[in-house]
Structure 1
Amino acid sequence: AERYVVEVLFPESGAVAITNTIQAIDHFRGEFYTHVDTLALAMVGETPASPDYSSSFSELKTNPAVSADLASFRDHFDRPPDKFLTLSLRVRNLPIPIMLSMEIDTLYVPPIEWNDAMPMMNWLSTGAQVEWVLREPDTGLENMDIHWDFQVGDVVKVRIFNDPRTFHPMQHPIHFHGQRFLVLETDGLRNQHLVWKDTATIPVGSTVDFLVDMSNPGDWMAHCHIAEHLSSGMMLGFSVKPPPIYR
């Protein structure tokens, strides 16, 4: 649910596997194991590239335009949050075997669960039984009962807490439609590598501060980018109004 642009140096010809390598967890056995999926193969030809950028590959690069853009937002970094959200879960009428399995499953909760360690439980439950929740603690409103209104040009600081006391806590990649944001802090630690994003993952138990640039007018959603979480309700609405037109 997050996208990155990377530079890759291919020093040799041949087939190069692009893999997703994770530290997976088996909750019931209490074991970690390495899991690798091959996503694609890059075929590197024998003819050297022209021009050849290998000599500059190890140089740390900067982007003055991006740095200047970020500088205009720094006055907002240390001000209090404008909005608060808590990420949670509500379950009802789950079969007893699934409830017991989930209780065992949550004896240890990794901040980020890179693999789906409970596919059978996912298959045996529905959105009517498992509701993932975005809650606004100031109002008590949840999911699509939340609606925020902004103006184009507003810079909004949103603090999101992923409650570890939830019955089955999980990480949540939170996505804002139509806007860009900076991840300012995680658990009070300032992010020293700022980049514009539209999605960022909130680990279990963490508090993350977003600084959202409300620059794109329209009616939008913010939601978890895990499909079953979104489909079971984990979304809210917000509007960004265009500037008034004076005649």
Structure 2
Amino acid sequence: MVKETETVYLKNGDSYAITAQKLQAKIGNAQIKMLGYNGSVPGPFIWVHQGDEITLEFKNLTGLPSTIHHHGVRVDNRYDGVPEVTQPVVPSGKSFTYKLKFDDPGVYWYHPHYRDDYAQELGLYGNYIVIPKDPNYWAPVNREIPLILTDILIKDGKLPEYYQDYSNFVFMGRYGNTFLINGQQKPTIDIQKGEVVRFYLTNTSSVRPFRVFVPGIKMKLVGGDNGRVEKEQYVDTLTIAPSERQIVEMYFPVAGDYKLTHHAVDPLVGARTYELATFHVGDKAVSVSYEKEFQQLRENKEVIDEIEPLVSKYKSARPDRTIRLSVAVSKKEASRFSEPGSSTPTQSSAFPGLITILAKTGAKVEWEDHMYLQNKMSTSKEITWQITDLGTMKTNGAIMDWNYKRGSYIKVRIINDIHSLHPMQHPMHFHGNRFLVLAVNDVEETNHVWKDTFMVGAGDVVDILLELSNPGKWMSHCHILEHLHSGMMFMYSVD
């Protein structure tokens, strides 16, 4: 059975053993075969100090090949965990040693990069939390809690089938119908009255974005993927795309039960609201409260001084690269999804209603799987999600000429084609290096944070500035796992 997740504090030079293995878990009334690190889902919460180096001794007992990708950590290229690019796969029963240095404070995570549409969805994920060198990097709080948000799909008490040689649920990705917070359904988290708590939020789901809030509780955004935001701000809701992280502080002044809630309005299925967890605030007050500090919104001068000169220099520049996100399908696959009565279905005839709805409403995100059976039938054998370089018209793995010098910056424009066969959101992730979002649909970003993932909504045009500081051959891809495994990736190199 699944063990409770451990919290591990490592020091500079420490070695830590981590084993991926098969597990049995009870979720609701279902007994589910899962995978986990060190016997738990999620895997250990690993706390390290900024600048420290550790050794991770990985052993694979899952029954299938695996690796570990250290998501968002600017690791040496040989330890990035991409099969046959930065390392060979680790066969079941074998081991691999990762040497990691954590240059950036914040919250990061680890997961496999071999058939992660199966292995990650079944429980192979965990967090790194990097403690800053500067004791004043964050405002003081009473506690820090990592929260991993995910979902899993369970039908009739079991997991719908996965296939060894290809992926299914490829059009939209495998949306779950059961929500897990730190591996549990609707957990209760005890809070003392008057506490200020910093939450490190990570979305490890395959496709579902979360839009979260806590009714009755004030929420302050303080950081994102790769550290602090320029300016702290109070937010009513927080959207977290797959693989993204958000760092928020909450103040709990009054006893009671407060619900961590996911609420989103999908243009095709309407509003949906789910309670994810309960924060139980008791009557006993905390001995020291940081309410005063919580009520202040800090501007992070060091972050602003680093980022704003780059933004000023590049925001009006022409893009160095422009990529388009779209999808292609075989004629056989298109015929499954054409409207009734269509005698000669084509790619362009599939999903016409969805395109019309998206175009008319301006909806950017599909929050739910609104066509389960059709989505389940769609496979990577017939469907190719595409990243096309509009400068060369090369697509996915054929993109071979993104070669840059260390220390340079490139402006990348990402166009999510609204006229594609199936326009939907794509959380785009760059391995090995970090970027800034400059603008979305010509609206400039006003509160920057270094990122490694950003959700590009249907029809959106997003400009990013990619910092090329870490040498190696790196992958960029959509972090909807079924899209990745139907081809939606390319490589770039830093010399």
TM-score relative to the length of structure 1: 0.88
Query: For residues 58 and 117 of structure 1, what CA distance do their matches in structure 2 show?
Result: 41
Alpha-carbon distance in 2 for matches of 1:56, 1:198? 29
The 1-side partners of 2:434 and 2:296 are apart by 28
Give the residue type in structure 1 aligned to 2:320.
D
Say if 2:263 and 2:271, in contact at 8 Å, map to a contact too: yes
| Candidates 292, 296, 299, aligned match of 1:55 | 292
> Following the alignment from structure 1 to structure 2, what is the Cα–Cα distance between the partners of residues 115 and 95?
21
Counterparts of 2:482 and 2:255, CA distance in 1: 41
User: Structure 2, unaligned stretches of length 5 or more?
Assistant: 1-241, 340-349
Contact 2:266–2:365, Cα closer than 8 Å, also in 1: no
Of 330, 333, 343, 1:94 maps to: 333
Q: Output the TM-score relative to the length of structure 2.
A: 0.46
Q: Structure 1: any 5+ residue segments left out of the alignment?
A: 27-31, 242-247
1:225 and 2:479 matched:
yes
Q: Structure 1 residues 158 and 95 mapped into 2: Cα distance closer, same or farther (>3 Å)?
A: closer
AA matched with 2:376: W
Whole-Å Cα distance in 1 between the matches of residues 473 and 487 of structure 2? 18
In the alignment, structure 1 residue 12 sits paired with structure 2 residue 261: no
Q: Percent identity of the aligned residues?
A: 36
Report the AA paired with residue 87 of structure 1.
Answer: L
Kindly report the root-mean-square deviation, in angstroms, between the aligned alpha carbons of the 2 structures.
Answer: 1.8
User: Which of 469, 478, 492 pairs up with 1:215?
Assistant: 469
Worse-matched range after superposition: 46-55 or 196-205: 46-55
Are 1:80 and 2:318 an aligned pair?
yes
Judge conservation of contact 2:386–2:488 (CA < 8 Å) in 1. yes
Please state how far the C-alpha of 1:95 moved relative to its aligned partner.
5.9
Q: Residue 201 of structure 1: CA displacement?
A: 1.1
Secondary structure in structure 1 of the residue aligned to 2:356: coil
My pick for the range that moved more, 75-84 or 45-54, is 45-54
Could you list the runs of 4 or more consecutive aligned residues of structure 1 that deviate by over 4 angstroms after TM superposition? none
User: For 2:334 and 2:390, how far apart are their aligned partners in 1?
Assistant: 30
Which structure has more relative contact order (CA 8 Å, sep 6+)? It is 1
Residue 25 of structure 1 contacts residue 115 of structure 1 at CA under 8 Å; is this kept in 2?
A: no
Alpha-carbon distance in 2 for matches of 1:57, 1:16: 18
Among candidates 123, 137, 154, match of residue 390 of structure 2: 137
Question: What is the match of residue 122 of structure 1?
Answer: 375
State how far apart, in whole Å, the 1-side matches of 2:460 and 2:326 are: 12
- After the TM superposition, which residues 156-167 of structure 1 pair with which residues of structure 2 at under 5 Å, given as runs? 156-167=410-421
Q: Is structure 2 residue 260 aligned with structure 1 residue 23? A: no
Post-superposition shift, 1:168? 1.2
Q: 1:103 aligns with which of 342, 348, 352?
A: 352
Determine the structure 1 residue equivalent to 2:405. Answer: 151
Q: Is the 8 A contact 2:333 2:378 kept in 1?
A: yes
Q: Distance in 2 between matches of 1:162 and 1:95?
A: 20
**Kept after mapping to 1: 8 A contact 2:410/2:466:** yes
- Contact 2:327-2:386 at 8 Å conserved across structures: yes
Closer/same/farther in 2, CA of residues 124 and 56 from structure 1, 3 Å limit: same
- State the Cα distance separating 1:83 from its structure 2 match: 0.8
The answer on whether the counterparts of 2:326 and 2:386 sit within 8 Å (CA) in structure 1 is: yes
Match for 1:46 among 283, 307, 314? Answer: 283
Secondary structure class of the residue paired with 1:126 = coil
CA distance in 2, matches of 1:17, 1:61: 27
Q: Give the stretch that moved more between structures: 87-96 or 162-171.
A: 87-96
